[in-house]
Amino acid sequence: MTVPVRSLEFADTREAADLAAFLGRLLHYDRAAAVRMQAGGGALAVFGRPPSFEVLAIRTARLAGPDDGFDVTVSAGELLESLDVEGAAAGSGAMPAPVTGPPWTGVLPPRGGWRELPGLPDPVSLRAAVVAAVAEFRSRDEALPEERRTRAERDLIGREIWSRTVAGTGLPLRAVHAAQSLGFLRPAPDFPVALLSAGSWLRLRTPFGSIALRGPGSGLGTLAVSVGTG
């Protein structure tokens, strides 16, 4: 039986281009990445999980006209290949065939009930904290004697650095690193960012996307190490 192809029509070419950029960055960390897509009310939310950071990344896009809503998990690579950002059909795409999603796709942040938390530094300070953390990791790694320069030792250093919270907010530094690496965090002091909470979830929100994660012991996964600057 032939399955009809669902087309994706975005509000403008910029929406499709920004989504393509997000998918490209996600695939940089996981070439076999899957994404969960939820649409409704003229908006599309795309959820991904870059394994280097153990967080959920959320990118939204405006769709053209009304839609009947859908919720499906697909290959990030196939979705990226379907998007037309410069051709005759720029601003459009096609829904890839559904795939069996990894476990994280069944545990998404709540849609409502978010409240803003105080104390989040400005974007310039957040980016500076990530740069300092990357420099510290490299310095401590280089200082290790040869016999201790193992993956396990590096994981210990990374876990200690990236699990630090930002300005006492409870937001781990790895979430900020993820936001920067995925193109969500821009280096401008007036760039609007917010820290939100809902139940056990924290969410770093910017105009270009959000990073969400659950607190310790909530089952999202173990902390991984990332040393790139994004």
Q: What is the pLDDT of residues 83-104, one digit of tens each?
A: 998 876 778 999 999 999 899 9
Q: Are residues 208 and 140 in the same domain?
A: yes
- Rg of the chain over Cα atoms, rounded to whole angstroms, equals 19
Q: Are residues 67 and 125 in the same domain?
A: no
The per-residue pLDDT for 4 is: 52
173-223 per-position pLDDT tens digit: 999 999 999 999 987 778 899 999 999 999 999 999 999 999 764 444 333
Whole-number Cα distances in Å, 50 to 25, 207, 229: 9, 19, 14
Residue 219 lies in a domain: no
Mean pLDDT calculated for residue range 15-39:
96
Tally the domains of the chain. Answer: 2
Whole-number Cα distances in Å, 91 to 39, 61, 85, 128, 198: 16, 11, 6, 35, 33
Say how far apart CA 26 and CA 230 lie, in whole Å.
11
Q: Are residues 65 and 136 in the same domain?
A: no
Task: Answer yes or no: are the C-beta atoms of 205 and 114 closer than 8 Å.
Answer: no
Q: Are residues 127 and 100 in the same domain?
A: no
The mean pLDDT value of the chain amounts to: 88
For residue 151, the enclosing domain spans 115-214
What's the CA angle centered on 156, arms 52 and 30, to 5 degrees?
Answer: 15
Q: Categorize the per-residue pLDDT at 136 as very low, low, confident or very high, splitting at 50, 70 and 90.
A: very high
Q: 111: which DSSP letter?
A: S
Mean pLDDT calculated for residue range 6-30:
94
The per-residue pLDDT for 36 is: 97
